[in-house]
Amino acid sequence: MGFNADSSFILQDTEHRPKPAISDAGSIPLVDLSPLLATPIPDGVDEAPPALSGLVEQVEAACRGWGFFQVINHGVPIELLERVQAAARGFFVLPSEEKRRVIRDEENPLGYYDAEHTRNVRDWIEVFDFTLEEPAVVPASTEPGDRRLQEIWNQWPAYPPDFREACKEYAKGLEKLAYKLLELIALTLKLPAKKLNKFFKDSTSFIRLNHYPPCPSPHLALGINPHKDAVALTILAQDEVGGLDVKRKSDGEWVRVEPTPHSYIINVGDIIQVWSNDRYESIEHRVSVNSEKGRFSIPFFFNPAQDTMVKPLEELVSEDDPARYHEFNWGKFYKTRRFSNFRKLAVENIQIYHFRNTQ
């Protein structure tokens, strides 16, 4: 298969074809994490020195107002990113037969894939997925009563030779940043900093290498169709090409996130939306493609363990603000999502609003 303008890519509904995004100064907030380089995160926001409490306020405003922000001075060594970017380029340039040696299938959602769908429309993308835990443990089936578990193993390509090491080193670096962000977000919700950490032992976190080849009809297709990330938190590295559009909460306009060198783009995922009882929202975004340049990006999806029951945190619900969701098992949710974008389905994908309480 190749990237021919085959009809499955084409957004049938002209309403949803990519209208140009606005590129202006009103884009997502930029947060400087340098206070974290000097000071460890205290367990309560009251114990934080002024530089840190200022940071917590900025993160709170960004999560509430946008659901998205960029961070600089994040402490992840640039060499780690450059090494994994080079590995990704070296892999995606290989002939299709070579990449398909590590193709994902119905049994194993890890490895290479070139027929991704988002909400049942095909994306102009090829991807490579790997988990942080090896193996990662997920439910064996999507059936609610079935308690059997399945181990999923990474599939590593033989080329480029440095690929596996580069991916693993990068994952270690990003996980540290993920915990810092999680702790900051806990503080913004007036919770002890480490309150959420326990959910991430035996995590189902994974990293995706994305490649969007140049597209002959960028006005008819999208790199990734509009979606919300079904994760706790996403930490995204994008290259210098640009193409990520975020739906601005204030007015629903698509806003392009212009690349900022050495920054990461952070977004609150569906799980934080539920934990926070809708204080924070998981925001819709998409990727536009262009006819000249291929684009690479690397999201890190920070996810809890499969047995986590996700529901609004007790500290954040009250008589006046009752739980807006009933609990669901993360493993089953993940399995349903990961296995359903495997191919075009006639039914809608699972979404958190399916667990919303009627009030």
**238 binds ligand AKG, rule: CB under 6 A:** yes
* 245 scored as a contact of Fe ion (CB under 5 A): no
Buried b / exposed e over 329-346, threshold 16 CB at 10 Å, is: ebbbbbbebbbbbeeeee
Given 244, 271, 272, 352, the residue binding ligand AKG (CB under 6 A): 244
229 binds Fe ion (CB under 5 A): yes
Q: Which of 123, 126, 175, 229 is in the footprint of ligand AKG by CB under 6 A?
A: 229
- Least separation, in Å, of the C-beta of 320 and ligand AKG? 35
What end-to-end distance do the CA atoms of the chain give, in Å? 48
Q: Is 285 in the site for ligand AKG (CB under 6 A)?
A: yes
CA 17 to each of CA 23, 27, 31, 72, 222: distance values in angstroms, whole numbers, following the listed order: 18, 22, 32, 33, 8
Q: Quick check: 253 and 247 in contact, CB under 8 A?
A: yes
Question: With contacts defined by CB under 6 A, how many residues of the chain interact with ligand AKG?
Answer: 11
Tokens of 317: 């619900």
CB closer to ligand AKG out of 219 and 337: 337
DSSP code per residue over 180-205:
HHHHHHHHHTTS-TTTTGGGGTTB--
Least distance (Å) from ligand AKG to the CB of residue 238?
Answer: 5
Q: Is 129 in the site for Fe ion (CB under 5 A)?
A: no
| Cα(22)–Cα(151) distance, integer angstroms | 43
How far apart, in whole angstroms, are the C-alpha atoms of residue 129 and residue 319?
42
Query: Which one of the spans 29-37, 164-172, 236-244, 341-349 is the region binding ligand AKG (CB under 6 A)?
Result: 236-244
Q: Which of 35, 109, 111, 299 binds ligand AKG (CB under 6 A)?
A: 299
Residues 198-227 that bind ligand AKG (CB under 6 A): 208, 210, 224
Q: Which does 267 bind (CB under 5 to 8 A by kind): Fe ion, ligand AKG, none?
A: none
Return the number of other C-beta atoms located less than 10 Å from residue 144's C-beta. Answer: 10
- Which residues of this protein are in contact with Fe ion, per CB under 5 A? 229
